[in-house]
Amino acid sequence: MPKRTDIEKILIVGSGPIVIGQACEFDYSGSQACKALREEGYHIILVNSNPATIMTDPEMADRTYIEPLTPEFVEKIIEKERPDAILPTLGGQTGLNITYFLKEKGVLDKFNVEAIGASTEAIARAESRKLFKDTMQSIGLAVPKSGLAYSTEEGFLLAEKIDFPLILRPAFTLGGTGGSIVYNREELKVFLKRALDFSPVHQVLIEESVIGWKEIEFEIMRDCKDNIIIVCSMENIDPMGVHTGDSAVVAPAQTLSTTEYNNLVDSSKKIIRAIGITGGGANIQYAVNPDNGDVKVIEVNPRVSRSSALASKATGFPIARVAAKLAVGLSLDEIRNDITGKTYAFFEPTLDYCVFKICRFAFEKFPGADPILGTSMKAVGEAMAIGRTFKEALQKGIRSTEADRYGFGADGKDISEEEQRNMEEIRKKLIYPNAERFFYIRYALQQGMEIDDIYKLTRIDRWFIHNMKEIVELENLLHTHSLATITPKLLRQAKEYGFSDIQLAYILRCKEEQVREKRMSAGIEAVYKLVDTCAGEVNPDKPYFYSTYETIDESRARRKKKVIVLGGGPNRIGQGIEFDYCCCHAAFVLREEGYEPIMINCNPETVSTDYDTSDRLYFEPLTREDVLNIIDKEKPDGIIVQFGGQTPLNLAIPLKEAGVKILGTSPESIDRTEDRKRFRVLLKKLNLLQAEGSTATSVFEARKIARKIEYPVLVRPSYVLGGRAMELVYDEGELNEFMQKAVKASPEHPVLIDKFLEDAIEVDVDCVSDANQAVICGIMEHIEEAGIHSGDSACAIPPYTLSKDIQELMKQNTYLLARELKVKGLMNVQYAVKNDRVYVLEVNPRASRTIPYVSKATGVPWAKVATKVMLGKSLKELGILKEVEVKHFAIKEAVFPFNRFPGVDTVLGPEMKSTGEVMGIDESFGVAFMKSQIAAGQNVPLKGNVFVSVKDKDKRAIIFIVKKLVDLGFSIVATSGTAEVLRKSGIEVQNVFKIGEGRPDVMDLVKNGEISLIINTPSGKKKMKQDEAKIRSEAVFQYIPVITTISGAQATVNGIEAAIKKGFQVKALQDYYEKGDRPLFL
């Protein structure tokens, strides 16, 4: 069927900030959809609050709105743009929910907007538990026994009908938030209460548990002519009970017999018909009983998902692109298969390799968080590896996570031998799923535990454990050799089993380089195979590769001008989509400039691993060995390491030593800024101010330095990203505590101790430089004061309190640094401003996390400019001679995963904790700030009770803020100290007990929903700290915004005022930028 001509304008809804459960896979799917639909000639309107996305690049859509993703804002956009259709299936749960609510509210009907891709009826059949159950039963498929509870009493009634253990699933939450498994009545009482609190509609599904069953997923698509294809089957290695987003996954399914597989295919076809998808895809999750093959349908997602992104990268079949085309009425047989270039989308991909996905966790960032994996997703990112065997894919996958492991153990990073013999601990780790579970399987195997026994404890299929055992057996054989005695045959087998050179160096007791030399001289080199969607049946057009150790190499490297871009690997806190954005832009520019862009990355969620982004894609781990192997084949003219965050930057020196040409700023300059000692020398040379500080290599030395520069001090290990293990230390006791942890965190590098600049304003400055000249991209004034990690604080472009002189001084300092470091490309400098003095905190001669945000705020694609500079263009040639002045405000706000980690303190500090960001943009600062808060999911109230409790130092500053709140109609609640100060200034205050002073105390008020906003600046005292943490933690669960800084409170009050007085308007990015007066979108 030809595409629809009755619609012209289509609104695409994005998924907003990166949070646990919804990451950049939706940028990948959304950008694909934009491209696919514009190709067909449609007018695209896009809304997404996340500025770090490729999809919000102004050239991706005709109209781009960076506005909060709420039904209210989307309604305003609909009213303004009058789209004919809305495409809700590409923006994750957020996009789906918004569309559903807009339909319920009558907005879609009012403006005559049709939901395409999945009708609101289809969404309801998949999302509403009741309708879903009925639909499945009507086609003869089983679902787990379940019932809905709105109260604890109802829960207990249900528990009499369904056997324990029970799964609790709160309604309308994302990625299993607030869900849990309960084994007895006591746990039911506790966890059901929590689950009910989590659900915005206080509804919890109580479900029969199928814990320990196999979890199988199918990606399926259907068009308007009822053509159906199965894109991919996937098997979760972790059994039911571990959220699929946390599970390790293989594609295709490995342990299903033909009969079982075919039955699931048939069921999937029935399901997609019954749900009623007539132009799109779905993800279907099944539980399969490994003992008798019983099947239950667990869930259907009538949209693209994290799994569909994985399936797309695993097979080469672009699900989102095809889904977008199906949504406008095209059928599968009318869409070309881009990978082969010869066949159509109407066919089922086949694989001739094994795909392994493994998650990246961030428990180290959240002390006190429960590290056991369950029904609520906790992973912050994922890596995918491709191998010809499961063993190879497993080992590549583990080293792809960049969690400092280089394969399935045996890399010198295992727990001590004594610990490895602690069977009790091993058993515990096998029973309770955790991030290190595979390593514990290895320890168990090493201790001689039988496959069957491990299976009984983990319920991980015997086939997977058997493969792990084969790796262990080979490892044990390798241990009997040394570098001198190992035969080429055995060495080759080790490489076929996925062992990295680092592992082999550890096992053979030599250096990584020696292993490499040995195998190169024996001719044991990686070969590259194609991902072609058809298992070799057709010669493909798109060069999408993975490495393996076999005979024939298909990489067909071309003799062209080419540049390798190193990606950022799996998302983690501190390194996420922002860096992927920069890598993609680098690839786009390379292509424009006549170079062949070659991408190396292993993150399946990203746009950079779309085969369309670069000319050649290598889906490979970002380790020295894997990157060098590719360089050997491709012999590139240069390599770009400054866009992918810390991962590629850490490779800069090893790669340079191996003779690779690093484009842009030299590794030598990078080292001058990363090595704190050299950094001090650099600043001294340039006469720039720096907080007092020094480097310590022992606890004794640290104490001495701290005493000299006086507490509070900022301590951290050198060479870290996202402020890992950085802490603000107030006294010697805390310092001792930190030193024990820190030395462990980074054994090769010393600890840095700096004077902490209290109450300073922190400023980020990004600049681009061609080594002769530098131009400022943007000056970002942080809303929170210095001491909070820059990735976690809100910030504003342009600065809203800094004087022109101070700004000018920062510019001059930045130019100075750029010139001295001969920066070629991007550089980020962090300053602290205190008493009109400008201190340099940090210099990063690479793309920073803020580049996409600055680009969206200023309308200049800075990563592209930087790439051109790296290729040898001067800023003058590019016409970039002066700073961009913006007439609006763009506020960036961070988004945190605290609701995933119950009990963890939400207070911010020097260690980064946010997973994502949003941007609010408007002509007024207040409105822009308010938009950023709404977009970040902060439930900022326009009326109600405000609880105020601030430390003594802040008591003066808070008066003005509270006065304004009272003027705006708020009531104030405060504990005795703060209340007294406020009352003295003539403010009406209601007193409330602190925790432990009497009841009802402030905690009671928070729990009862009587507080709508909390302003609480942490006092630093221990007992107080604990109580405050409890309040903040509770507030997060009640969706009550908590402000922990005076400057944050100030901005919020400005925002509330603006919202009340001015209201909100929406405006497309394209309308903010004036064409002509600046080099737009090079």
Partner 1 sequence: MEAILVLEDGCVFEGQSFGAEGEKIGRVVFHTGMVGYQELMTDPACRGLLLTMAYPLMGNYGINNQGYESPVAQAEALIVKECSRIYSNWLARESLQDFMKKNNVVGIEGIDTRALVVHLRDNGEMSGIVSTKDFNVENLKEKIKASWCEEKNLIQEVTSSEPVFWQAPEHISCRVALVDLGAANSLFHNLYKANCQVIRLPARASAADILALNPDGIIFSAGPEDLKSLHKIVEKVKNLLGEKPLLGISSGNLLLALALGAKIKQMKCGHRGVNQPVRSLKTGSVAITLQNHCFVIDETSICRDDIEVSEVNMNDESIEVIRSKNYPALGVQYIPGDFDAFLKECK
Q: Which residues bind partner 1 (CB under 8 A)?
A: 225, 227, 229, 252, 254-261, 290-293, 331-333, 342-344, 346-354, 388-390, 451, 461-463, 466, 470, 529, 534-539, 550-552, 554
Separation between Cα atoms, residue 218 and residue 286, nearest integer Å: 8
Task: Give Cα 522 distance to the centre of its chain.
Answer: 41
Q: How far is the CB of 266 from partner 1 (least distance, A)?
A: 11
Quote the CA–CA distance of 602 and 1015 in Å, as a whole number.
42
Can you tell me the distance from the alpha carbon of 743 to that of 741, in angstroms, rounded to the nearest whole number?
6
Q: Is 425 helix (H, G, I), strand (E, B) or coil?
A: helix
Q: Which is nearer to partner 1, 153 or 550 (CB)?
A: 550
Question: How far apart are the C-alpha atoms of 594 and 590, rounded to whole Å?
Answer: 6
Cβ nearer to partner 1, comparing 292 with 835: 292
State in angstroms the smallest separation of the CB of 470 from partner 1. Answer: 7
CB of 221 to partner 1, least distance (A): 12
CB 946 to partner 1: min, Å: 60
Cα separation, 708 vs 788, in Å, equals 23
Nearer to partner 1, 229 or 383 (CB): 229
Q: Kindly state the tokens that stand for 823.
A: 């920066």
Rounded to 5 degrees, what are φ and ψ at 336? -75, 145
Pick between residue 330 and residue 775 the one whose CB is nearest to partner 1.
330
Q: Which is nearer to partner 1, 348 or 842 (CB)?
A: 348
Nearest approach, Cβ of residue 227 and partner 1 (Å): 6
Shortest Å distance, C-beta 1003 to partner 1: 51
Report the C-alpha dihedral over residues 250, 252, 258, 260, rounded to 10 degrees. 60
The nearer residue to partner 1, 484 or 552, going by C-beta atoms, is 552
- As measured in angstroms, the least distance from the Cβ of 456 to partner 1 is 14
Minimum CB–partner distance for residue 1039 and partner 1 (Å): 45
> In Å, what is the CA distance from 728 to each residue of 717, 904, 913, 982, 1028?
13, 18, 15, 29, 17
Smaller CB distance to partner 1: residue 171 or 393?
393
Shortest distance, position 317 Cβ to partner 1, whole Å: 11
| Closest-CA residue to 861 (of 608, 627, 588, 651) | 588
Spatial separation of the C-alpha atoms in residues 155 and 168, rounded to whole Å: 10
C-beta closer to partner 1: residue 462 or 1025:
462
In the bound state with partner 1, the residue whose beta carbon lies nearer, of 203 and 263, is 263
* Closer residue to partner 1 in complex, CB, 317/643: 317
Q: Are 642 and 565 in contact (CB under 8 A)?
A: no
One-letter amino acid at 145 equals K
CB nearer to partner 1: give 391 or 672. Answer: 391
To the nearest whole angstrom, how small is the minimum distance from the Cβ of residue 233 to partner 1? 8
> Please, which residue, 196 or 471, has the CB nearer to partner 1?
471
Gyration radius of the chain's alpha carbons: 28
- CA separation for the pair 899, 178 (Å, rounded): 8
Beta carbon nearer to partner 1, 254 or 971: 254
Burial class (CB in 10 A: 0-12, 13-18, 19+), 510: middle
| Minimal distance, residue 416 CB to partner 1, in Å | 31
C-alpha span between 238 and 374 (Å, rounded): 10
Task: Work out how close the CB of 112 gets to partner 1 at its nearest, in angstroms, rounded to a whole number.
Answer: 31
SS (H, E, C) 342-373: CCECCCCCECCCEEEEEEECCHHHCCCCCCEC
CB 58 within 8 A of CB 40: no
CA 422 – CA 443 distance, rounded (Å): 9
Q: Are strands 249-251 and 280-288 parallel, antiparallel or unpaired?
A: unpaired
271 neighbors 280 (Cβ within 8 angstroms): no
- As measured in angstroms, the least distance from the Cβ of 262 to partner 1 is 8
Please state, as a whole number, how many other Cβ atoms lie within 10 Å of the Cβ of residue 121.
12
Residue with tokens 């432990």: 996
Distances in whole angstroms, Cα of residue 565 to Cα of each of 400, 630, 631: 17, 12, 11
